[in-house]
Amino acid sequence: MILVLTCDGDEHAERVVGTLAGADVTVFDPARFPAAATLEIGHPGDGSTVRILGHGGRRLVLDELTAVWYRRPGNPVAHPSTVAREHVEEECRVMVESLWDGLGCLTVPASRPVIDRAGRKPYQLEVARRLGFDLPATLITNDPERFLDFYVQHEGRVITKPVHGNQLEAGGERFGRFAAPVTPADLGHADALRLCPVIVQAYVPKRVEVRVTVVGGELFAAEIHSQVSNHTRYDWRHYDPGATPILAHDLPDEVSRRCLELVGRLGLSYGAIDLILTPDGRHVFLEINPNGQFLWIEDATGLPISAAIGELLKSGVKR
């Protein structure tokens, strides 16, 4: 029995579930709890634990699960009539996270605490360094003087990116924060770094950018020709579908080995790794997303990522 935890309208989940013909699959969004679903965790006193999900007219014994895909679950949402709404939603969140974290079956990409740790960029960089990946010269700091020294050391060819999240809200508006070059005008605001740290990296020349999707012991690599468009020159997430070719990529054996080891060291069974292929042929590590999107790569290249995730879930085998 397979449980897919994700929000409504998740095309990635729909594609993978479509590969699971014949399997007993339940798709559930924790945002339906508690208003439209029930959960229970029981300790009968005989040394056992019983976990039950009541949803859609079924009572699922979660202890019988063979695999869980922790895809894009929403947070619990209290019924509109609920008093002390924030308190209720926090109680529900702690319950559901405790339940998912306690399951003993295969969890893709990993349990929630492991995903959280693996998603921290400073931690990723240290693990990648220990595995022998090429890294850009990097400084993570809130010290304006060190930032300016780094800028001078690299002759102004540096980019910045957030330490963790790339979405922020200010003045009631939401903004995306992508990797961006530091301009001379930015230097006048360097003192603001004291308020929040930032990742600063020496700019790495690109032949192409490489997205490596690891599923269990399988690896799917694609090259993103980001340099053909000004929109994607510094960060391919400014994706320009009409002008950014994406093709399958031949990854050297040593780089493939490191990618597989990185995912394993981080405790994951899935990961989307971003690399740069330099003009002189080096593969330079940027970061890994433990739950990164993959359909755009699959649709552009034909790489069978969805089928591989489906096979991993059906296997129920932990790494």
Contact assessment for residue 187 and residue 200, using Cβ atoms and an 8 Å cutoff:
no
Angle between helix 121-130 and helix 253-265 axes, rounded to 10 deg: 130
Beta strands in 56-146 (DSSP E): 58-61, 67-72, 106-108, 138-141
Cα distances from 149 to residues 131, 143, 156, 191, 203, in angstroms, run: 28, 10, 10, 13, 15
What is the per-residue pLDDT for 230? 52
- Fold topology of 137-202: Dna Ligase; domain 1 (3.30.1490)
**Residue whose pair of structure tokens reads 């609920």 in the numeric block:** 82
In whole angstroms, what is the distance from residue 295 CA to residue 276 CA? 20
Distances (CA, A) of 8 to 78, 149, 204, 206, 235: 17, 47, 39, 37, 28
**Encoded amino acid at 9, one letter:** G
Residue 100 identity (one-letter amino acid): W
Global pTM value: 0.91
Rg (C-alpha) for the chain, rounded Å, is: 22
Q: For the chain, 319 residues long, give each residue's pLDDT as a single digit of tens.
A: 999 999 999 999 999 999 999 999 999 999 999 999 999 999 999 999 999 999 988 999 999 999 999 999 999 999 999 989 999 999 999 999 999 999 999 999 999 999 999 999 999 999 999 999 999 999 999 999 999 999 999 999 999 999 986 666 666 666 656 788 998 888 988 999 999 999 999 999 999 999 999 999 999 999 998 765 555 555 555 555 556 789 999 999 999 999 999 999 999 999 999 999 999 999 999 999 999 999 999 999 999 999 999 999 999 998 6
| Number of DSSP helices (H) and strands (E) in the chain, helices first | 9, 18
Q: Where are the domains of the chain?
A: 2-108, 117-121+205-303, 137-202
CATH code that applies to domain 117-121+205-303 = 3.30.470.20
Nearest to 272 by CA among 252, 288, 253: 288
Q: Taking a C-beta distance cutoff of 8 angstroms, is the pair 201, 161 a contact?
A: yes
**DSSP 8-state code for residue 63:** G
Quickly tell me which residue has 């957030």 as its tokens: 162
For residues 161 and 199, is the Cβ–Cβ distance under 8 A? yes
Position 185 scores a pLDDT of 87
The answer to whether 183 and 158 have CB atoms below 8 angstroms apart is no
For 313: left if phi > 0, alpha if psi spans -120 to 50, otherwise beta; the answer is alpha
The 3-state DSSP class for residue 165 equals coil
